[in-house]
């Protein structure tokens, strides 16, 4: 299972073991990272599950359009609901953006 490091708003990091097949948004929620609001529940209809990921990966088209409206967008921004976790995500670093 991929080990993912999550850095919260206060700058502290924690490595957690996430489940393959779940979305990164679900992984964050299930491991208690409640700074991610995820208001639409993961159907790519809002941008409230915005995260920064390292290494960066390109967003999908709809996701990119939603991210364009996010206040703290960066080059490595993604919507965590659109990342389906696989073994390849082992070592991913995720940071939670500042509050809008």
Partner 1 sequence: MHYDILIVGSGHGGAQAAITLRQRGYTGSIAIIGDEPDLPYERPPLSKDYLSGAKPFERILIRPPAFWETRDITLLRGRRVVVVDPVAHAVTTGDGAVVGYGQLIWAAGGHARRLDCAGGGLAGIHTVRTRADADAMRAELPAVEQAVVIGGGYVGLEAAAVLRAAGKRVVLLEQQDRVLARVAGETLSRFYEGEHRAQGVDMRLGARVDGFIGDGRSVTGVRLADGELIPAQMVVVGIGLVPAVAPLLAAGAMGGDGVMVDAHGRTSLPDIHAIGDCALHPNAYAGGRHIRLESVQNATDMAVTVAKALTGAAEPYRAVPWFWSNQYDLRLQTVGLSAGHDAAVLRGDPAARSFAIVYFRAGRVVALDCVNATRDYTQGRALVEAGWHGDPALVADTTVPLKDLAARSSH
Which residues bind to partner 1, rule: CB under 8 A?
26, 29-30, 32, 34-35, 37, 39-41, 43-47, 62, 65-66, 68-69
Minimum distance from residue 46 beta carbon to partner 1 (Å): 7
Instruction: Determine the Cα–Cα distance for residues 26 and 12; give it in Å rounded to an integer.
Output: 20
- C-beta closer to partner 1: residue 31 or 93: 31
- C-beta closer to partner 1: residue 10 or 55: 10
Instruction: Determine the Cα–Cα distance for residues 44 and 38; give it in Å rounded to an integer.
Output: 10
- C-beta closer to partner 1: residue 58 or 69: 69
Measure the CA dihedral 65/7/22/83, to 10°: 30
Minimum distance from residue 8 beta carbon to partner 1 (Å): 11
Instruction: Determine the Cα–Cα distance for residues 65 and 91; give it in Å rounded to an integer.
Output: 27
């Amino acid at each position: 299972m991929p080990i993912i490091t999550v850095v919260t708003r206060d700058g502290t990091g924690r490595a957690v073991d996430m489940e393959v097949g779940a979305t990164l948004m679900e992984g964050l929620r299930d491991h208690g990272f409640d700074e991610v609001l995820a208001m639409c529940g993961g159907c790519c209809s809002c941008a409230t599950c915005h995260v920064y990921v390292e290494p960066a990966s390109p967003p999908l088209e709809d996701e990119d359009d939603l991210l364009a409206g996010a206040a703290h967008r960066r080059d490595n921004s993604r919507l965590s609901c659109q990342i389906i976790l696989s073994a390849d995500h082992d070592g991913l670093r995720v940071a939670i953006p500042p509050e809008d």
